[in-house]
Amino acid sequence: MPPFALLLLALDVPLTVQETAGVARVAEPVTFGVPLPKGMLTDTAKLRLHDPEGKLVAADFRVVNRWWGEAGAQVSPVQWVHCHFFANVPARGRAVYRLRTGDAEPPAPPAKLEVIAEGDDVRVGTGPLRFVVHKRGPLLDAPGLSGADFLLRSDERIYKMSVGADSELAVEEQTPMKVVLKRTGSHGWVNGKDKALDYVVRITAYSGKPWIRVAYSFVNRQGQRMSDFVRLDGLRMEARLEKAPEPARVEQLSAEPRRAGWFQAGGIGFGLRWFWQLYPKAFEARSDGLARLELFPETARPQNIYMGVAKTHEMVLSFGGENLSASIDEPLYAVAPPKWYTRDTGALGRLVESSAEAIQPRYWPLVQRYDRWITASRDAVLAKRDRGYRFEGRAFDEYGMLNFGDAVHKIVTDSRRPDYGVHWETQYYDFPHALFLHFFRTGDLASLRMAVEASAHLADVDIAHHDPNPALRGAPRTGPGLNHWTRYSNGEFEASASWAFYKNESLFDRYLLTGDPWSRDVARMSADSGAANNGLDIQSNTRSIGHGLFAMMKAYEVFGDKKYLDRANWIVDCVQDWQDGNVDRLRERRCGVRWAPEFKGGYSHQSWMYGIALEAMSQASWTFQRPEMPGYLRRSAGWVFANPKEWDPSRRVFLNAPVHAVMLTPGLAYIAETSGEKMHWDVALESFQNQTGAAQATDRLKLFGQLFRNSQRFPWYLSVDARRQW
């Protein structure tokens, strides 16, 4: 009997909405993603949402992706759905909604949402609000506010969204409860030809709401080389108020004091998410009726925006006088129980929730210690943001428009060295994905919020949105990144052709869980880069095997495009040809690797990098069911154990970076499962026990990613389900 057999009889998933800002939320829009067991539903027609009293509530459902490749299925079953609804939750309290199936007709949304295209404009009516979004000229006009525009100052020129000649406007999403309009283009100069940064702006309006959300991303696609930049001297959203405001100006030029990002002027509310965290910022209301939400004040030190860099700002415009600062600073999430994300649906593969019910009793204290280690390390990374550092006589912290969500790796103060400067982690080893995994396993909202912050940085800064080489558009920045943009070893401006620094699973996590469309877009761009560019670098970076496979398997899972599946199988083929020493096949496949006889059977001399490779190859073996793969995995581990420079059999320790032994545990456990050889299991369990027992919290983002990106899949082998299977 399949593990989901009982669940197929009826769907009843509790979804908890927790309020943490101390402000009661009334009919606040919430979008959440929830997975479904394989085979449960092929569409969303019967999905219903119930409030804490059991009453049906208005809700929109949308299929996100499917369980691809179901044998004999005309329509593959749904894997993830997105739901949008309006939540009520008391201050500092929680409300439990329930996702069920049923035939009863749900209530209608609070008001009819009207969307009318007229020429180059789109007019939207939410009930209490009517506004118009323009394809050309200023972005929008609304009651009490007109001519909303984005203005960029660079090198004494003013570039405007309203002057750009290449803009496009589309209705990206429309349901009875919300509409998303997307405008793209460039900020243009007065001559109508020159332009600075490109932009993507999304406006979201909701049924019955007198306010809108604006997500604005700029992207630098200008120049000929990766070292080319646009100097940012100022950037603001500017609009004219119908009601004259009281003159006021608030500046946030550093992290302190920590001001709220909510402002009132002329009867209009202006909000900006992460206002103080993304300094410099400012808001100004002028007596002549202009209101300016300054995403980069002209009073701040100029910032170079290098080719391929993007930055997203999330704003709210409120036309009904409602203060929405709580919903900006601490948005609501509707979350399922960890058991649903993991064992009940299997949507995350071999991942198990952290509970006494799920783990074999003899291992439960061990898993509890392990999770305390993760939590302590996460909190240490978080605390490091505020401690700061000094460089060239100035005090710095880990906040700022292009810093927030990342962490400092190291500082080189010797100006004679090519790597002189501040090195950032660039979400090494997909740090936010490790946090998302912790949330899925434990339901810890602190990990979820930190993962969202880090994945936002990854989407904007740590992936190159443009490159002179089209195959590298979407490629990762190297890590650690010198001043974010350049390579740590030589100071060259470049995206990485190697998959050694590839990471995008967390972007898929954020999209699946929250519906964030920017994360989806950047994840696709990143995946397309991997499909077009061969970044396999086994001899120098064994981790490139894992990073490439993770990206391709996740892209196929979410988008269903066969090119990602083909690319994943190509990686497996190259790795196995490498292990065989089949140089001719490596050349025929254009694997682009430099093989040496000493590597036959294994990967390379970097046993600590085997953890990433083994986990990905194990997931691919389990997913693709290629019968030869377990044998190749066993051979790769055998190469390590036979190498006296890598493994000490008497002390039973890995000699090459032993701190990373915990990374190897899920891969070794899979080899034990498929080979029946107890030695691999013994080494995996000993490594997990020893490191968990002796572990100290780390405040290094990179080390957190290394330690916990792989190892959170090992507790599955300690679970009651695993005991039944092998």
| 282 three-class SS | strand
Q: Assign residue 468 a region: left if phi > 0, alpha if psi is -120 to 50, beta otherwise? A: alpha
| Calpha distance 552→571 (Å, rounded) | 9
pLDDT at 185: 97
Residue-range domains of the chain with CATH = 7-101 (2.60.40), 114-329 (2.70.98.10)
Beta strands in 580-704 (DSSP E): 647-648, 653-654
- Show the tokens assigned to 478: 């190297």
338 CB contacts (<8 Å, ≥6 apart)? 353, 354, 355, 440, 441, 442, 443
H or E stretch covering 725: helix 720-725
The amino acid at residue 559 is F
Q: Torsions phi, psi of 684, nearest 5? A: -60, -50
Closest-CA residue to 503 (of 459, 449, 564, 446) = 459
How many CA atoms, within 13 angstroms, populate the side-chain half-sphere of residue 139? 28
| Calpha distance 213→232 (Å, rounded) | 24
The label of the residue with tokens 């590298």 reads: 472
H or E stretch covering 99: strand 94-101
The amino acid at residue 497 is A
| 461 three-class SS | coil
- Show the tokens assigned to 602: 């294994």
pLDDT at 73: 64
650 CB contacts (<8 Å, ≥6 apart)? none
DSSP secondary structure letters along 199-266: EEEEEEEETT-SEEEEEEEEE---SSSTT-EEEESEEEEEEEESSPPPPEEEEE-SS-S---SEEEET
The amino acid at residue 149 is D
pLDDT at 69: 77
Closest-CA residue to 159 (of 181, 182, 140, 185) = 185
pLDDT at 490: 85
| Calpha distance 726→724 (Å, rounded) | 6
The label of the residue with tokens 């030695």 reads: 679
Taking the CA atoms of residue 701, residue 703, residue 704 and residue 708 in that order, the dihedral angle to the nearest 10 degrees is 150
- Show the tokens assigned to 723: 């005991």
Q: Inter-axis angle of helices 431-442 and 364-387, to 10 degrees?
A: 130
From residue 692, alpha-carbon distances to 304, 680, 700 in Å are 43, 18, 17
Closest-CA residue to 150 (of 88, 100, 200, 205) = 200
Q: Which residues pair with 316 in a beta bridge?
A: 213, 271
| Calpha distance 534→552 (Å, rounded) | 12
Q: Torsions phi, psi of 373, nearest 5? A: -60, -45
The amino acid at residue 268 is I
H or E stretch covering 372: helix 364-387
- Show the tokens assigned to 82: 């997105």
DSSP assignment, residue 296?
E
Contacts 24+ apart (CB under 8 A), 639-646: 639/599, 639/601, 639/602, 639/603, 640/602, 640/607, 640/610, 643/602, 643/605, 643/607, 645/605, 646/605, 646/607
| 280 three-class SS | coil
pLDDT at 165: 86
pLDDT at 605: 86
| Calpha distance 569→567 (Å, rounded) | 5
| Calpha distance 631→575 (Å, rounded) | 13
Closest-CA residue to 461 (of 402, 516, 520, 526) = 402
| Calpha distance 110→253 (Å, rounded) | 41
Interior CA angle at 547 toward 544 and 549, to 5°?
105
- Show the tokens assigned to 121: 């404009």
Low-confidence ranges of the chain (pLDDT < 70): 1-9, 70-73, 724-726
Please give the order of strands across the beta sheet that includes 78-89: 25-35, 78-89, 59-66
Closest-CA residue to 458 (of 475, 483, 482) = 475
User: Residue 486 in contact with residue 423, Cβ under 8 Å?
Assistant: no
Q: What is the pLDDT of residues 18-40, one digit of tens each?
A: 999 999 999 999 999 999 999 99
Size of the chain, expressed as the number of residues it contains: 726
| Calpha distance 160→455 (Å, rounded) | 29
The amino acid at residue 596 is A
253 CB contacts (<8 Å, ≥6 apart)? 279, 280, 297, 299, 300
